[in-house]
A and B are shown apart, each in its own frame.
Chain A
């Protein structure tokens, strides 16, 4: 089966274990949300899937459509189809969005193949229209001087252009006002389909009003404590995370 499969994952930074035996599967074509209180390890999971060098995987496996992901470098994972929409995207001064994305698209082409500029721009403008982005946006330096909303929209534009197999969206709703949230959500919804699996990480239920998930997982202290349908998010909204936490016996992380 085509899925992003995480099994019994343990992750540490330094001496501190942050993810403690997490198991989760996201099939292609589905949207799964991970919710959880601050410090539960949600963002760590996102970074580990992308291969961030600060984290050490001490046990467990991550496979993408059957292939071991953990032995791949971050850029190899990206080219093979894992996309991370960052919570805090980096600025790249002097590099325009158009040039940056072009380099990223070029990096995915087979050896010896050159990206056609006209095809590239046609594709870029199509995706920008989808996200209601002004075309002048592409000549700005990546994330430099962007508002929170612009940064997130830029992440979704990259997601749309790079067409990954699995996308991890890390707190994409944070820092967005309601209008920006709607635009970003519409963008993600338009990309939903049988070829894309989405792991949606969020602290608040609000985002799930706009991007309705197939499954909701609750993460507490580095583990999935509870899974269910989209109605689980509403329950959490009502009862708070303490309701899930009651089962978790280990002390909460800072």
Chain B
């Protein structure tokens, strides 16, 4: 067992290291028009992007913090203390050899180049504000698949980029989508041509190395008619005493008959505010599936959504949240039915440990004029300790006669008898807890590609190891 534990301990703190900052570009502390102009100058943004950003800044400044419904902990974010842009250059490298030594070593410690060799179709690695590495396997590129950073996307492929950018998630959607729109940098731009099925996942890894910093990547994925894509993102940051902000915007567009699967394993350190807006647009008979796993961060607010715009479109959110001591995972899903015969499925499982708090917020909207729409929502919460907390806020509006909705929710606690039973078979209390929790999420973990489900099980084990005794 000791051998196993040693490797696990390394994994536990896998992201908890930092190299000295060597940035050549910094927008300084705080957020003003000057900050925006600095970012635009460094990135050599076209004029329309500069205008887009400046307009977004005004919207951000005009919107109040959503503390009337969300956690008061948001007030702990001091926007004036944050650095909004840090980079060592704007151009992502195509080979790891070209990536600066410290940065390369960071991603090697996180296992990214190894995963790339093993099973990925392409990788983008973002370090603070910019992608430092971006590469796609030759065979995938030859099929016409585009996989570049957002800055490169908007410059090199403006006709596709501009058509969809900000259309699924408008700037004013919420305060943090406005913030992202003002200062966005990094993230992926992906286009999959009609009929192309990308067999292996494309992966992006988001790494925060700096303190007092905000990362604002912007991802735009367009999968054309009948095409298929699996995209995977991971993230870590070192543990700092100061608050770090991560506020991304991710827009997905699935054209007719297309399929997109978007997988997130969020493992930020416990000082990160993770406030992310993610939404997909599904055209006729298209499918958008979010598999969202939140293990890290201090506060996560994230409700991946699908707008089912075309007939027979399908939306799905599979969500796993693990709220450890002092963490708040405020997660859920939004399903907006906007055409007949659309179906959506939400399965959410959360685990609260110690003073950890898991909140589920779900929105399901089916307007009156639609026919034969279906939604299924299941949300299950598991409480580990007596002081753990879980809340559920479902908002379901289903009108019209031919539509069906099903909602099931459960809260359970790991019972002392169950733990005793497992201990009687020789497992320690922590092993018993871990097995119990893994069993609780097992049916969802199985939906992850194998490489990630193994990792996920280990992450859960690690969290449980520290939670008992």
- Known contacts A94-B439, A94-B443; A75/B421 CB under 8 A: no
The reply to whether the CB of A176 lies closer than 8 angstroms to some CB of chain B is: no
A108 and B2 contacting across the interface, CB-CB below 8 Å: no
The count of chain B contact residues (Cβ–Cβ below 8 Å) is: 28
Q: Determine the chain B residues whose CB is within 8 A of the CB of A89 once the complex forms.
A: 421
Q: Which of B415, B424, B431, B435 contacts A74 (CB 8 A)?
A: B424
The reply to whether the CB of B418 lies closer than 8 angstroms to some CB of chain A is: yes
B411-443 interface bits toward A, Cβ cutoff 8 Å, 1 = contact, 0 = none: 000011110111111111101100110111111
Q: Determine the chain B residues whose CB is within 8 A of the CB of A108 once the complex forms.
A: 426
Q: How far is the CA of A111 from the CA of B440 in the complex (A)?
A: 28
Most buried by A among B416, B420, B428, B432: B420
The reply to whether the CB of B1 lies closer than 8 angstroms to some CB of chain A is: yes
Q: Which of B416, B422, B438 contacts A53 (CB 8 A)?
A: B416
Kindly report which residue of chain A lies nearest to residue B349, judged by CB atoms.
A94
Q: Which of B3, B4, B427 contacts A75 (CB 8 A)?
A: B427
From residue B207, how far is it (CB to closest CB) to chain A in Å? Answer: 32
A93 and B428 contacting across the interface, CB-CB below 8 Å: no
B426 and A95 contacting across the interface, CB-CB below 8 Å: no
A90 and B417 contacting across the interface, CB-CB below 8 Å: yes
A74 and B439 contacting across the interface, CB-CB below 8 Å: no
23 contacts between A and B (CB under 8 A): A50-B424, A53-B420, A74-B420, A75-B426, A75-B427, A90-B417, A90-B421, A90-B422, A92-B421, A94-B440, A95-B435, A95-B439, A100-B425, A100-B435, A103-B427, A106-B1, A107-B425, A107-B431, A109-B1, A111-B2, A112-B2, A114-B3, A114-B4
B441 and A78 contacting across the interface, CB-CB below 8 Å: no
- Known contacts A52-B420, A90-B415; A107/B438 CB under 8 A: no
Q: How far is the CA of A90 from the CA of B442 in the complex (A)?
A: 18
Q: Which of B415, B420, B426, B435 contacts A162 (CB 8 A)?
A: B426
Chain A 92-121 residues near chain B, CB threshold 8 A: 92-95, 99-101, 103-104, 106-109, 111-112, 114
Which of A's residues lie within 8 Å of B, judged by CB? 50-53, 73-75, 78-79, 83-84, 86, 89-95, 99-101, 103-104, 106-109, 111-112, 114, 141, 158, 162
Q: How far is the CA of A191 from the CA of B114 in the complex (A)?
A: 48
A111 and B431 contacting across the interface, CB-CB below 8 Å: no
- Known contacts A90-B415, A111-B1; A78/B424 CB under 8 A: yes
From residue A13, how far is it (CB to closest CB) to chain B in Å? Answer: 14
Q: Determine the chain A residues whose CB is within 8 A of the CB of B2 once the complex forms.
A: 111-112
Q: How far is the CA of A231 from the CA of B442 in the complex (A)?
A: 50
Q: How far is the CA of A100 from the CA of B423 in the complex (A)?
A: 11
